[in-house]
Amino acid sequence: MREITYAQAVNEGIREEMRRDPKVVIMGEDVGEYGGVFGVTRGLYEEFGGARVRDCPLNEAAIVGFGVGLAMMGRPTIAEIEFMDFVTFAMDAIVNQAAKLRYCWGDQINMPLVVRMPIAAQLGFGSQHSQSLEAWFMHIPGLRVAMPSNAYDAKGLIKSAIRDPNPVVFIENVSLYGAKTAVPEHEYEIPFGKADIKRAGRDVTVVATSSMVNIALKAAEELAAQGVDVEVIDPLTLAPLDIDTIVESVMKTGRLVVAHLAHKTGGIGAEIAQQVTERAFDYLDGPVVRVAAADVPVAASQTLEKAFYPTQQDIVKACLSFRG
């Protein structure tokens, strides 16, 4: 099977959906002739034209606000936020409008809006261009949240997101854009709310998201050499969250580590840990361990940035902590 990059997979998924449905549009900063600041929308303007691939002013509130209006009128819309950090300017449109309008209208309208936003973590971009804010959106009823960790999942999930009648926050990781994975040429979708067990194991369950999935898999290989068999689970979507698969794994292993790039306090790790504790407390052999970023703004300095983000060794240490 051919291998393509994460960025190519997202592009291909969008392209297929724009060919399938002539009503699909994409809008954002530099998404047109330039092809996106990270090259993800490259070639879409040439194929579909400026009416469907719209360059917008540097105004995230307007980009998502127009997207909400288009989606209400039956036009599936992909609104791109250039960096996840800039979504703060569009929070009213996402949280107070997109997430609630189907509810407020008694389900008389759909909201086929996908808000794409890349995390630029571990690239030295500093405190205003590196944040992982996924927990904000997981907290809001009415929003779906997808967070693929490889090219195969990215293509299948972006297609499902575009076809969904609900608003979707689609979180990509810039550090993964160049990573290649086997991706079939035929069309396929990946359903929301179904986690993927990336590696089966019997001793410790590690739930990881985004680029931490690959780091967790490397940690699992290292731990295997020490006789610790780690099961690695990628939730794929945070809303809906497939807590059943996670609980079933913990009931087997008795131990849980949750790893993510965001700050530890109030992160998705805390929510997953609590849900598992509520449902599988009697199966836990020890407290759930969270592996996450420090509760300080990330620095642009490479040395300080390395100290900020969780590492493979942090996951290894967390898994070994159950030995006592």
As annotated, the active-site residues are 60, 129
Closest CA to 32 of 59, 55, 3, 13: 55
